[in-house]
Amino acid sequence: MDTEVDILIIGGGIVGLMCAYKLKKNRPKLEVVLIEKEQYLGDHSTGRNSCVLHSGLYYATNSLKHIHCIEGHKQWLSLSKELDIPINLCGKYIITNKVNDSELDKLYQQAIANNVKDIHYVDSKKIALLELLVREGYIDSITVEEGKKPEVSILLKYYEGKPVIREIKRLSKPGLREYVGKKDLPSINGGLGIAVVSTSKGLMTDKQAREAGLGGELLCSVF
């Protein structure tokens, strides 16, 4: 069969498909043909990857990988709306198993330099808070993947399709620390929720602190 087209794209993975999509969008009159050897499109790496929308924090500033991650991230967010593809922007935790980890500090600085948005430095107290929320049944689990760049994944908990955590309120703030004595520990929503207290013996719920006879810094309430 002899056919002439303006552009022939070989391979229907994300790269081929995006080339075809952009070409047709910007030049509708172009005759573009895409051929794929498999039965389905995206049947190789494209359909079998980890589905992470990378933010570009690992790469050297202004390297192609960094630039493509940032630009790709931006484009996917607008394209997902255009094509009605849901994206779960659940974020990502990178954790260390060391008290002082200069590698983690470096990575944080790299992320800042790379203009990665919404990045927060989570200290060990916040990890302890997550562990407490697991113990108290507010979070399903946290999984720590050890390695050169240890990561923690958080599995949120749902009950009858609704998140178990209805509300988290930060109480003590850097500019206005809130401390309570053992007699003034609050009860959240009549005892149905918890207050998280940083005591001299670690993080505790208000109930545990009451039982231990300890006061401390009121970090947050969870309901």
* Residue 38 neighbours by CB under 8 Å, 6+ apart: 12, 44
Query: Is the CB of 13 or the CB of 186 nearer to ligand FAD?
Result: 13
Minimum gap (Å) between residue 169 Cβ and ligand FAD: 34
Minimum gap (Å) between residue 80 Cβ and ligand FAD: 13
> For ligand FAD, which residue has the nearest CB?
13
Closest to 133 (Cα-Cα) out of 97, 158, 99, 157: 157
What does DSSP say about strands 7-10 and 32-35: parallel, antiparallel, or unpaired? parallel
**Residues in the site for ligand FAD, rule: CB under 6 A?**
10-16, 35-38, 43-46, 49-52, 54
Minimum gap (Å) between residue 21 Cβ and ligand FAD: 12
φ, ψ (nearest 5 deg) of residue 203: -75, 140
Query: Is the CB of 77 or the CB of 202 nearer to ligand FAD?
Result: 77
Minimum gap (Å) between residue 148 Cβ and ligand FAD: 17
Query: Is the CB of 26 or the CB of 39 nearer to ligand FAD?
Result: 39
Bridge partners of 140?
Answer: none
Bridge partners of 221?
Answer: 169, 195
